[in-house]
Amino acid sequence: MEALHALTAELHSGFLVLAFVGIVAVFLCQVVVRYRTRMPRLLVKWAVKSRGYFEATGYVAAVAGVIALLLSAYTGMNAWPLDQLLDSAIIRNKILLTIFATILWIGVVLIRTKFGRSLWTCPQISLLYTGLAVVAFGLTSTVGSLGAHITQGGSFLDPLWEAVGIDLTKDLSLDVTVAMFVAIGGVILLIFSLLAAVISGIAKEEFRPKNCTSWSKWDEPKIGDGGQQ
């Protein structure tokens, strides 16, 4: 099981790095294409031709990364006794941040699945999508840094944590009372959000590219779309 955990950890790391690069690259290409008149012609041509490939790569890699991340969490929890895992502050932090990272990456996949490639026609949705991927990747990198502490006694990201005053070797979990209030508040917020979605009917709305392209001037990144410059 330890070997399987090592394998799945490498897999999810590789997939999620690829997803992060693909999603951020598409966003940058969209900005270049939008302001094509102010950009070098060669850069605009490259952005138009490559953004469709980046988009597909980012989505597929995110899906594969989430699957590998779930497998990695499963193999990691079964590789060692639970009491041994929870006895270490670093491992507790690793488990906590892995949960957050998994939730955010699932959110990235759900947004892309819900809106499709058309999400890139809306600057706000594409910014949310990209921002979520950036934060998720940051948490994933932090989890990897904790893994390096466990296996190697340190990480190349340590100077960054020291600069911002974060000690990952100490518990990052909240006090039980504070955690309870946060959990209750989260449940209440979720209930109100669901009620608002049902009452407003927004959940039944279908997203269409023309909803944004009519004013944003952003178009879809398509594979093989080399004619538009």
Q: Does 51 or 165 have the greater pLDDT score? A: 51
pLDDT tens-place string over residues 202-213: 555 555 555 565
Q: Is the pTM value of this prediction over 0.95?
A: no
What sign does the dihedral 10-161-107-94 (CA atoms) show?
positive
Residues 6+ apart with CB under 8 A from 191: none
DSSP string, 55-103: HHHHHHHHHHHHHHHHHHHHHHHHHS-HHHHHT-HHHHHHHHHHHHHHH
pLDDT tens track for 55-112: 999 999 999 999 998 888 888 777 666 666 666 777 778 888 888 888 899 999 998 9
- Residue 29: its pLDDT value, please? 92
Handedness of CA 164, 172, 133, 72 (dihedral sign): positive
Would you place residue 228 in the very low, low, confident or very high pLDDT band (cuts 50, 70, 90)? very low
Other Cβ atoms less than 10 A from the Cβ of 152: the count is 9
Per domain, the residue ranges of the chain are 2-173+207-216
Q: How far apart, in whole angstroms, are the C-alpha atoms of residue 62 and residue 133?
A: 9
Average pLDDT over residues 19-40: 92
Tokens of 180: 């309870």
The DSSP call for residue 39 is S
- pLDDT in the model for residue 229: 45
Residue 25, C-beta contacts closer than 8 angstroms, at least 6 positions apart: 50, 51, 54, 58
Residues 6 or more apart in contact with residue 146 via CB below 8 angstroms = 90, 91, 93, 94, 97, 155, 168
Higher pLDDT, 43 or 90: 43
pLDDT higher for 10 or 136?
Answer: 136
| Mean pLDDT taken over the chain | 79
